[in-house]
Amino acid sequence: MPAVAELSPAQFVDRWPPPLAEREVVLLDVRESAEVAVASVPGTLHIPMAQVPARLGELDRNRPLVVMCHGGVRSRRVAEFLLDQGFENVFNLKGGIDAWSVEVDPRVPRY
């Protein structure tokens, strides 16, 4: 299995600054709906981890996919799964939304 590339939230924003991110990359949030209700990043595609296999058709294979969760563990597993399914440009958001709050936008609540 290929290794999953990682990006910190700061690296994500440096690479795809707004509004470029909305057109060029998919930020896939694999947390549960209750978690997304507490804290979220605008413009993300929300597909809970357990639903990803059934919803692969919703993912754009032509754009990079950056997978995020709360701290980076679930998202790494989903990123590995996506690579196994033939997706090629997949990243794990290191530290998840918690790191996003610290590194990029302190208005995003930490939980």
| Helix (H), strand (E), coil (C) string for the chain | CCCCEEECHHHHHHHCCCCHHHHHCEEEECCCHHHHHHCCCCCCEECCHHHCHHHHHHCCCCCCEEEECCCCHHHHHHHHHHHHCCCCCEEEECCHHHHHHHHCCCCCCCC
Set 59, 69, 78, 83: catalytic member: 69
Among this protein's residues, is 1 annotated catalytic?
Answer: no
Residues annotated as catalytic are: 69
